[in-house]
Amino acid sequence: MEVDADKLEKSKSSEEKLKSIARHQTMTMPPNTSAVVAHDADKESEERLEKRGIEGKLKTGFERPVMIHRAILGSVERFTGILCEHYAGKWPFFISPRQIMVIPSHAGINDYCNYVKDQMTNFGFYCESDLGTNTLNKKIRNAQLAQYNYMLIVGDREKESLMVTIRSRDEAKQVEMPL
């Protein structure tokens, strides 16, 4: 049985390949390889630096620490970055940090506005109410700029019938729904 030189080269063990690579650069090691290979390469490079005078000598009885780096959350961070770029601040409702803003038409409706906010919070939504002194149009505009997905507008008519007027962030169309 003849042994081909190419097959022999391909059959080098992974540790030998890692040793040759680790001497020259930093790399991410596969999870099934041992960190001993990288540790040996680090010790060799430290000895060379100590001989040149670049790296200080260690005191007797001390060893140079070895740092093993793993990027476990790297893919999660990349995915979050992609989502941020894709949605440009207009998050979908299920992951939005600002889901619902309850807006009263005037100050006399503030108690009903708080009731609606409490109901939405009890249902598990992130909900706030704007009880400030701004006009209704200004409150709606502020909620749109803050990227709330939905604005629940309440007035006297909604209070009497226990309803809300729902306005979407991107559409001016309004829909009345029972609470």
Q: Which domains does the chain have, with CATH numbers?
A: 12-70 (no CATH), 93-178 (3.40.50.800)
According to the model, what pLDDT value does residue 79 have?
A: 87
Give dist(CA 117, CA 103) in Å, integer. Answer: 10
Residue the block writes with tokens 């992130």: 126
What tens digit of pLDDT does each residue of 8-59 get? 455 555 556 555 544 444 445 555 555 445 555 666 766 776 666 555 666 7
H or E stretch covering 159:
helix 156-161
Name all contacts of 35-41 with Cβ < 8 Å and 24+ positions apart. 35/66, 35/68, 38/68, 39/66
Instruction: State how far the Cα of 35 lies from the Cα of 41, in Å rounded to an integer.
Output: 10
Terminal alpha carbon distance of the chain: 83
Say which residue, 69 or 116, is predicted with more confidence. Answer: 116
Q: Does the global pTM surpass 0.85?
A: no
| CA atoms of 101 and 117, how far apart (whole Å) | 8
pLDDT > 70: what percent of the chain? 63
- Once rounded to an integer, what is the mean pLDDT over residues 141-153? 93
Q: Phi and psi at residue 164, in whole multiples of 5°?
A: -135, 150
The CA-based diameter of the chain, rounded to the nearest angstrom, is 96
Helices (H), 1-151: 5-10, 14-22, 36-52, 74-87, 110-122, 136-145
**The token pair that represents 122 in the structure block:** 């009890």
Contacts of 58 (CB under 8 A, 6+ apart): 64
pLDDT at 20: 52
Mean pLDDT across 154-169: 92
Tokens of 114: 């708080």
Lowest-confidence pick of 13-22, 78-87, 118-127, 162-171 = 13-22
